[in-house]
Structure formats: C-alpha cells, structure tokens
Amino acid sequence: MSDAGFGRPSLAVVVGASGGLGRALAELMVESGAYERVVALSRQRPDGWEDGARRAWAAVDILKEESIVSGARFVATLGVPTRIVVATGRLSGLGLAPEKSMRALDARVLGDLFAINAIAPALVAKHLLPLTPRDRTSLFGAISARVGSIGDNRLGGWYGYRASKAALNMFIRTLAIELRRARPLGVCVALHPGTVNTALSAPFQAGVPAEKLFSPRQAAEALLRVMDALGPGDTGGFRAWDGSNIPW
Ligand SMILES: NC(=O)c1ccc[n+]([C@@H]2O[C@H](COP(=O)([O-])OP(=O)(O)OC[C@H]3O[C@@H](n4cnc5c(N)ncnc54)[C@H](OP(=O)(O)O)[C@@H]3O)[C@@H](O)[C@H]2O)c1
C-alpha cells in the first residue's frame, strides 16, 4: 500500500458511520466538498448512504482485525485518507450496563468494553494511519468521552466505560508520539462530542438540560470545526466539542 500519496485523491474515512455521530460526520464531510470522497466503514451500510462519485462504503467489524485490514485495503484503492474519524463505541446494551458500584464489576463486560472502546480503535489506527500522506497535513480523531478523563472524574461510577475511554486516550497519545516521527504533519487526537442524542446516550438522557443535549448534526458540526482548526502542534491532545482542552 502506498504511503506517499502524491497526487492521489484525498479521502475522509469515518469508522462507525452507521452510528448517530458517525453518520452525521460522514454526511457533513460530503457536504463540505473538502474531500474527493468520503468512505464510510461500518458493520451495516449507513441509512441512505449510496455508493457514488462522492461516497463509498465497506463492511467493517472493528472487533475483527482481518475486517479492519480489508477495510484499509478498500480505502487504499480509492485514494489517500487525510481525515480519519473513529466514531464507534459502546456504553450499554447486550447484557452491558454502566456499573454504579464496584459490586457490579464483571470481567466479561469489562473485556467487551475495552475491546470495543479502546483496542479496536487502536487497531484501526494500526491499519489506517500508514495510509495517511507524508506530504500533507492529515488528522486521525477518535471519539472518546469526557468521562474517560481521570483528572475530571469527580462522580465515579461507569467503571468500564470510563476506564476503556481512558485506555483509548492513552492509545491516542502514544500513537501521536509515534506518528510525529514518520508524519510530522499528521495530527492524532481524542475528541469529546458533548452529550449527543443518539442510541448510545438514549437511556441516560434524563436530567440532561435540553440546551446541553446536542443533535448528532450539531455535535458533528462542532467537532468538524475543532478538527479543521487543529494543526500538527496540537497532536496528542484531548479536545472537547468547543475546542477546549480536557485534562487527561
Ligand atoms: N452520544 C453521546 O452522548 C456521547 C458522549 C460522549 C462520547 N460519545 C462517543 O461517541 C462515539 C459515537 O457514539 P454515538 O453516540 O454516535 O453512538 P451510536 O449511535 O450507538 O454509534 C456507535 C457506533 O459504534 C458502532 N460499533 C459498535 N461496535 C462495532 C463493531 N464491532 N464494529 C463496527 N462498528 C461498531 C455501532 O455500529 P452497529 O450499529 O453496527 O452496532 C454504531 O454505529 C462513541 O465512541 C461514544 O462513546 C458519545
């Protein structure tokens, strides 16, 4: 696979493009016209996402490394990714519920959360970052969560989700250090989208003031503004939807 990218089409890639936030990010990046094509990678084809001159889709299950590898091969056939956003994630469902107390800690559930929220995005980076160009700026952003901040943890609870996002943050920071050596124009960051009205947050929205509950489009617009403003000097950071730095 090429890693130089001279003259090849510039792509945006959204991993988890079938999700609330991923779908909105993918759509907005098509609308922006900033990329020759937006590549959606997800288990299911995103609603209304038809392959064409500006859009492509491939099935990827981030829990299977060989599936990520075939997604990366597909991306490489289309061009060079200059923006990669990993918008997959899991908080609850399928026997998984955020723990209110240490009594609820369960090794299988913790393992599942780490696999989806931390290990899988790191493997996505392993296979997609080598496709980013050396001659241009690029950005790899993983959607993390403020609750993954150790410094910001005052409420406790949600052990597995918090810890898996903290692990994701460490992967991002470590990837950024390695990326700087081979691709000094590359940016690698963790991002917090705010509280967004999606399937993931739906069971936990009680008590969230209306003005603090973003639509997926609002959150995606905010995150794209943040990403567009970041440069190589910002690599390795953890940013919120409003551009502010979040403590690790
Ligand atoms: N919503 C919020 O308030 C909020 C707040 C802070 C952070 N976040 C983070 O934002 C990101 C996006 O979440 P969202 O709110 O948009 O939730 P969502 O609508 O539930 O989207 C999550 C996506 O992850 C995908 N996914 C899960 N396991 C996968 C796998 N093995 N392979 C491929 N895709 C997989 C899901 O695909 P399937 O449909 O195939 O399962 C789904 O498309 C997550 O990282 C989440 O932790 C969200």
Q: pLDDT of 119-167, one tens digit each?
A: 999 999 999 999 999 999 999 999 999 999 999 999 999 999 999 999 9
Does 5 have pLDDT greater than 90? no
Give, using CA atoms, the residue closest to atom 8 of ligand 1. 145
User: Cα of 64 to ligand 1 centre, how many Å?
Assistant: 16
Do 93 and 149 contact (CB within 8 A), yes or no? no
User: Cα of 201 to ligand 1 centre, how many Å?
Assistant: 10
Query: Which stretches of the chain are DSSP H helices?
Result: 20-32, 65-78, 107-114, 120-128, 159-182, 216-229
Query: Which residues lie below 8 Å from residue 80, measured CB to CB, with a gap of 6+?
Result: 2, 5, 8, 9, 10, 11, 131, 132, 133
- For tokens 């050596």, what's the residue? 181
- For tokens 């970052």, what's the residue? 129
Ligand 1 pocket check for 96: Cβ under 6 Å: no
Does 75 have pLDDT greater than 80? yes
Ligand 1 pocket check for 160: Cβ under 6 Å: no
Ligand 1 pocket check for 92: Cβ under 6 Å: no
pLDDT band at 6 (very low <50, low <70, confident <90, very high): low
SS3 content of the chain, % helix, strand, coil (to 5): 40, 20, 40
Does 91 have pLDDT greater than 90? yes
Mutate to test the pocket of ligand 1, among 200, 204, 226, 246 (most ligand atoms within 8 A of CB): 200
Ligand 1 pocket check for 61: Cβ under 6 Å: yes
Does 2 have pLDDT greater than 70? no
What single letter denotes the amino acid at residue 201?
S
Six-digit token pair at 166? 């903290």
Do 138 and 103 contact (CB within 8 A), yes or no? no
Can you tell me the mean pLDDT for 92-120? Answer: 94
Name which of 24, 117, 72, 85 is nearest 227 in CA terms. Answer: 85
**Residue 39 main-chain phi, psi, to 5 deg:** -105, 120
Mutate to test the pocket of ligand 1, among 57, 91, 143 (most ligand atoms within 8 A of CB): 143
Does 94 have pLDDT greater than 80? no
Give 17-52 as a DSSP string: TTSHHHHHHHHHHHHHT-SSEEEEEESSPPTT---S
Six-digit token pair at 241? 């939807």
